Structure 1
Amino acid sequence: MTPEQIALIGERWHDWYTADWDYGLTTVEFFCAGIGTMMLLYLVSLWRHRASARRARSTFRAAGILDRFTAAFRYVTSMQLRYKPLGYYSPPMGSVVGVAGIFTFVMAFALAVRPYYWPNYQMGHSPPLATRSGWISIAIMPFMIAFATKVNYVGIITGASHERLQVFHRWSALLMYITSLLHTFPFIVTNIDMGDMVHMYKTTPWYWSGIAALIPQTWLVLMSWGIIRSRYYEIFKKLHFCASGIFMVALFIHCNFRLTSWDYFWATLAIYSTAWLIQVSRTLYNSSFGLPYTLEQLSDPDMVKVTITVPARFRWSPGQHVLLRFLTLSHLSAFSTHPFTIANAAASASESGHTDSSTVTRAVEIVFRVRGGITRTLQEAALRRTGGGRVLLDGPYGGLPVSLRGYDRVYLLAGGSGASSPTLPLLQDLARGFGAGGGRCAHVEFVVAFRHPGTRRWLEPAIAEAAARAAAAGVHFSAHVHVTRTAENADLESIESFSSDVKEVEVGSGSSDKTAVRTDADRPDLPRLVREACASRLGGRVAFAVCGPEAFMYDVRNAVAECQLDIADGYSRCEEIFLHTEAYDW
């Protein structure tokens, strides 16, 4: 080697013996910095919400500097893109920006330093590109797993539910795969050039173990694309765990205790195992060896209701979901869990006529649209009137980071079965807070669109209860029901009858001027609804909670983003606009 080459292999970013510190730890610091930033933003948002919620109901003020900055940030993060010819909807721009930032860092970090190959093989048999990309790859691994767990440590400190972090799990897995390829091919090129490829494969554990890890990793990445994952989710989930186990074992052998490589495995094991133990322990604590449930076919032929009797110790908040494992439904159903949003708000001890909350027997209601798989099996059991058995309940998960009771005006927008996930329990929770010192909310609008007129029947009790409570408390409440497909006039007559029934409740309370229920056989104009709500002279703090199909969510997200820009520019009467969205799946 020349004196320059000798000096080069001892420099930082080139020294093989400190590559784990230079590249591995720097990658860890990058991910920790990003997560820490989101944690700080979450804490600031909680502080702002609590400070605003403590003000008197009639106290409105213009948006301040922090409000305008928040609105500008939400404008960027809440927007969504779509490509109509393929029916493609991107994740919210916040996720897109986050993924783009991770991708830019990883690729720049791997490719910015030169040279990629040693000009003299006496400088080392590990090409610089292969060395640095290997450490970047192994450093991504703990975070890839951390983004995937149901009991999610990243979500706990950033206020994001586990399903919202799945996009980072999938993209960090893809980046780990790309850096694994950048680690693999330089070795192949170098060893072929040196003429010892076959000899190295036969005499060292690193080559065969590397291939043994790369094959299942390739499977994991290819099979995780949405078009495959969504269509064959049940088999995908089982094979995903099998392939992950093979990959981790092969990669563990491949690293062979080089420098600090196994430290990343201990970190990954700690994250996954503790999250899994908490999840299993909580499930057994809440469910013992199974909770009783019943099934009911609703008036909408495509919707089924599951009612689970839960102990008093199980508590949940509106908008949360659970994972259900049906033990007695079929032989296969006991081997997998399925996510369902809870369709009712928990009743308090006072509302149940008890003074001690520990004596309250609660019921968790799940309402879902039948799509196939486990939902089809549940419907068949309900139609046979043999529905019932025992189920393990894991959760609750997700929900809103703040209470909607702290906002001046709340708009609950739902499409299809989204009426039960999570807008209906949010409506119930808001109604129970009317006039009870439970919040400052003085204006609630509930807008729901569905295809089958029979869907409205299981909405009747919640809307009637909200109308009665709002009228008694002097809160403005309106419900707008849109039936997007009506086949017979009898259906329209039943819808009009439903509206009349609710209005009778309002009139009987003596405050019918503050409540209204409308029913139309059309689709809601969501962008117009959002713009009018945000341009209202009422001003104040406004919240939107939305659940529905992708097109439904797209219209609301982008309309709210436009209104956020008005606050940032100082032209809006609103002090703050909060948006919470729930997708059908993740």
Structure 2
Amino acid sequence: MNLVTSWTSFQQLCVVVSPDFFPLSQRAMGLIWLLQPVLWHSPRDPSGYDYSAMTDEQKQLISTRWHDQHKWYTADWDYGQTTLALFCAAILASAILNAMSRFRASSKISGQGKPLPGFVDKLTAAFRYTTARQFHLSVIRWYAPPLAAILGVLGMFIFVMSLMLAVRPFYWPNDAMGMSPPIATRSGWIGIAIMPFMIAFATKVNFVGLLTGTSHEKLQVFHRWSAVFMYIASLVHTFPFIINNIRMGMMEVQYNTSPFYWTGIAALVPQTYLIALSWGIFRNPYYEIFKKLHFVAAGIFMAALFIHVNWTLTSWDYFWATLAIYGLAWLSRVARTIYTTGFGLPATVESVGPDLIKLSVRVPGRFKWAPGQHVFVRVLGLGVHALTSHPFTISSLHTGGAGAENTAELVMRVHRGLTGALARRVTGKAAWTSRVVVDGPYGGLHVPLKAYERVYLLAGGSGATFTLPLFADLAASIKAGGTACQRVEFVVAVPDDDNYSWMEPRITAVAAGLPETAVGLRVHFTRAAAEETKESHPMTRDILRGRPVLGDIVREAHRSARKVAIVACGPDGFLYDVRNAVADSQLVIADGFGICKDLFLHTETYSW
């Protein structure tokens, strides 16, 4: 960020490092990009102050911590490292909670002892209330992130604004104290310290997610809001310099002679574009175009910002950290994709219902996945769509021994773009073949469902692609014995028989051989009459008409056992009902009522 102390001290520094730093022709043309010679860090020796023009109080002020000791020569320690510490502490706390959650799920402690929830059970339920509770603004049709994410974002906002605004003065009371307003200096360091975390939240191979047990798509909310807070810090950093220089009558001189000003503008323009066009109203309708332009604008922004900070103090350290995070994540993705899929794998596309297609990919034995994970697919034989990749859940289980080939099946709802193009290729045909590149797998559950006494799998429409492999895996475990899971309830809501036909053979095959005490199957047809469909599905035990009352199902799950897991995948409204019903049940546990001590919830959405 623009952390120049004053025009006098800046000139002195430039003369020290390079006597020819400001040739007149270059000053006029604004061609100077980096201070010469380029160093890792700039010096910390304070200079350029007129102490004779300061009062004793002003001399003391510029040497006090949090007031930018000697103006800005330790501001990176005071504000940059403080921001760094806060984000690291928050990630560490989340990692500890994730480890405790894993331990709790795999242990038998919560299922034994007192018949009512104990202190740890109540505390866990209170925390899980925040991860389940969700809000909906019907006026704008917006489903908010879970309460825990809102609180996390709010905590970031309070921290950033407090660190930026709590210390006074915002401007130096005496021009002899320098031309860098204190609020501009501190906001610059806060903004640049946010940058590595903003990128860390965005990567698919996500190191924050590995620590916290959170899939990459659920961290996007923190990526977007940390970018907003960095932008706020950039604005607070920019305008005090403009105000100060206009007041002193030096704005034109500074812009024409100092690279810090025009490079600051060069960074702020693409940053403004990135923030403005990243809101859902602009992003969602044309996501593929948005994504490509987003990368281009981000590259311009990072390059301009790198030049702008001009190795000031430890500013470039944050770029090296950002490069390490993003570069390692990208290289690991590329290396894994080349190793597992090479230059493409054979795949077959076929229609399996109205607005439904299935992509079957033959994968080598070294490509492995767990139930509930998803991959990014690039179809090479699809013209312009070969330039894009899209996420889809693997609806089949990994089978066979080590080194054996498998078929990864992806069932897709037809929309525009890639899925629409695939649907057109199989119109009037039995199938269409191509080669695909598969990147993944990603996501999945971070706790074992087999450790819970009862598991409820709730699917809305094609959300069954996520819950069906979990159902098959749990059923196989129950058949084999040695699992704590005693019963699985599979609830699916589909519009009609055509949308159910693709999954019915697999569901009945999975349930076959299990006693009625171990498995429950309920199919809700939201459009067709139940009487019209019962005869067509004799193996399905419960055929129901109308939408499921998800709140009643969740309350039934809460009353069924001491350790219960609920997994749901479906449209936003479907998940909203499940989340809030689970949140209400968590409050019941926190109050110490009921037999359930451990109620775990995992949700997957159609899109991010």
TM-score, length-scaled by structure 1: 0.92
| Corresponding residue of 1:400 | 445
| Corresponding residue of 1:582 | 604
| Corresponding residue of 1:103 | 157
Q: Equivalences for 1:160-309 in 2 at 5 Å? A: 160-298=214-352, 300-309=353-362
| Corresponding residue of 1:455 | 499
Matched, 1:48 2:128: no
| Corresponding residue of 1:357 | 402
- Alpha-carbon distance in structure 2 between the residues aligned to 1:306 and 1:235: 24
| Corresponding residue of 2:537 | 499
- Alpha-carbon distance in structure 2 between the residues aligned to 1:224 and 1:327: 28
- Alpha-carbon distance in structure 2 between the residues aligned to 1:85 and 1:575: 37
Higher percent of residues as helix? 1
> Is the Cα contact below 8 Å between 2:110 and 2:562 reproduced in 1?
no
CA-to-aligned-CA distance 1:525-548 (integer Å, 9 cap, x gap): 111111122124xx2211100011
- Alpha-carbon distance in structure 2 between the residues aligned to 1:273 and 1:413: 38
The correspondence for 1:7, drawn from 55, 60, 64, is 60
| Corresponding residue of 2:455 | 410
**Partner letter of residue 3 of structure 1?**
D
Moved over 3 A (4+): 53-56, 59-62
CA shift for structure 1 position 143: 0.2
- For residue 343 of structure 2, give the secondary structure of its aligned residue in structure 1: coil
| Corresponding residue of 2:434 | 389
Which sits farther off after the overlay, 452-461 or 274-283? 452-461
CA-to-aligned-CA distance 1:104-150 (integer Å, 9 cap, x gap): 10011100010111111110110001000000000000000000000
- For residue 458 of structure 1, give the secondary structure of its aligned residue in structure 2: coil
| Corresponding residue of 1:83 | 137
**Partner letter of residue 24 of structure 1?**
G
CA shift for structure 1 position 75: 1.0
Matched, 1:476 2:518: yes
Which sits farther off after the overlay, 78-87 or 119-128? 78-87
| Corresponding residue of 2:74 | 18
| Corresponding residue of 1:325 | 378
**Partner letter of residue 529 of structure 1?**
I
- Alpha-carbon distance in structure 2 between the residues aligned to 1:572 and 1:72: 15
> Is the Cα contact below 8 Å between 1:431 and 1:465 reproduced in 2?
no
| Corresponding residue of 1:353 | none
| Corresponding residue of 1:378 | 422
The correspondence for 2:563, drawn from 541, 544, 547, is 541
CA-to-aligned-CA distance 1:390-446 (integer Å, 9 cap, x gap): 1111000000001211110011111111111x1111111111111313521111111
Matched, 1:569 2:582: no
**Partner letter of residue 376 of structure 1?**
G
CA shift for structure 1 position 560: 0.4
> Is the Cα contact below 8 Å between 1:484 and 1:523 reproduced in 2?
yes
Which sits farther off after the overlay, 435-444 or 162-171? 435-444
**Partner letter of residue 74 of structure 2?**
T
CA RMSD after TM alignment: 1.6
- Alpha-carbon distance in structure 2 between the residues aligned to 1:181 and 1:152: 29
Which sits farther off after the overlay, 461-470 or 387-396? 461-470
Unmatched runs of 5 consecutive residues or more in structure 1: 350-355, 504-516
> Is the Cα contact below 8 Å between 1:323 and 1:394 reproduced in 2?
yes
| Corresponding residue of 1:556 | 578
Distance 1:430 1:60, change over 3 A: farther
CA-to-aligned-CA distance 1:6-26 (integer Å, 9 cap, x gap): 111111112210000000000
- Alpha-carbon distance in structure 2 between the residues aligned to 1:301 and 1:206: 58
CA shift for structure 1 position 53: 8.8
> Is the Cα contact below 8 Å between 1:434 and 1:475 reproduced in 2?
no
| Corresponding residue of 1:336 | 388
CA shift for structure 1 position 387: 2.1
- Alpha-carbon distance in structure 2 between the residues aligned to 1:492 and 1:178: 59
CA shift for structure 1 position 160: 0.5
Which sits farther off after the overlay, 455-464 or 46-55? 46-55
| Corresponding residue of 1:151 | 205
CA shift for structure 1 position 61: 5.0
- Alpha-carbon distance in structure 1 between the residues aligned to 2:509 and 2:447: 23
CA-to-aligned-CA distance 1:208-263 (integer Å, 9 cap, x gap): 10000000000000111012111110100000000000000000000001000000
- Alpha-carbon distance in structure 2 between the residues aligned to 1:239 and 1:86: 26
CA shift for structure 1 position 60: 8.9
**Partner letter of residue 547 of structure 2?**
R
- Alpha-carbon distance in structure 1 between the residues aligned to 2:173 and 2:468: 67
> Is the Cα contact below 8 Å between 2:110 and 2:121 reproduced in 1?
no
> Is the Cα contact below 8 Å between 2:454 and 2:486 reproduced in 1?
yes
| Corresponding residue of 2:85 | 29
**Partner letter of residue 481 of structure 1?**
V
- For residue 324 of structure 1, give the secondary structure of its aligned residue in structure 2: strand
- For residue 357 of structure 2, give the secondary structure of its aligned residue in structure 1: strand
> Is the Cα contact below 8 Å between 1:431 and 1:469 reproduced in 2?
no
**Partner letter of residue 398 of structure 2?**
A
- For residue 107 of structure 2, give the secondary structure of its aligned residue in structure 1: helix
- Alpha-carbon distance in structure 1 between the residues aligned to 2:229 and 2:549: 40
**Partner letter of residue 476 of structure 2?**
R
> Is the Cα contact below 8 Å between 1:79 and 1:558 reproduced in 2?
yes
> Is the Cα contact below 8 Å between 2:117 and 2:593 reproduced in 1?
no
- Alpha-carbon distance in structure 2 between the residues aligned to 1:498 and 1:429: 26
- Alpha-carbon distance in structure 2 between the residues aligned to 1:294 and 1:475: 38
- Alpha-carbon distance in structure 2 between the residues aligned to 1:468 and 1:31: 50
> Is the Cα contact below 8 Å between 1:131 and 1:183 reproduced in 2?
yes
CA shift for structure 1 position 83: 1.5
CA shift for structure 1 position 3: 1.3
> Is the Cα contact below 8 Å between 1:419 and 1:547 reproduced in 2?
yes
- For residue 135 of structure 1, give the secondary structure of its aligned residue in structure 2: helix
- For residue 171 of structure 1, give the secondary structure of its aligned residue in structure 2: helix
Which sits farther off after the overlay, 430-439 or 236-245? 430-439
Which sits farther off after the overlay, 77-86 or 46-55? 46-55
CA shift for structure 1 position 492: 5.4
Which structure has the bigger radius of gyration? 2
- Alpha-carbon distance in structure 1 between the residues aligned to 2:379 and 2:426: 14
| Corresponding residue of 1:117 | 171
**Partner letter of residue 105 of structure 1?**
F
- For residue 116 of structure 1, give the secondary structure of its aligned residue in structure 2: coil
Matched, 1:140 2:194: yes
**Partner letter of residue 70 of structure 1?**
T
> Is the Cα contact below 8 Å between 1:432 and 1:469 reproduced in 2?
no
CA-to-aligned-CA distance 1:266-310 (integer Å, 9 cap, x gap): 000000001100000000011011001000111x21111100000
- Alpha-carbon distance in structure 2 between the residues aligned to 1:161 and 1:193: 50
> Is the Cα contact below 8 Å between 2:111 and 2:563 reproduced in 1?
no
Matched, 1:433 2:486: no
What is the percent sequence identity of the aligned residues? Answer: 54
| Corresponding residue of 2:547 | 523
- For residue 74 of structure 2, give the secondary structure of its aligned residue in structure 1: helix
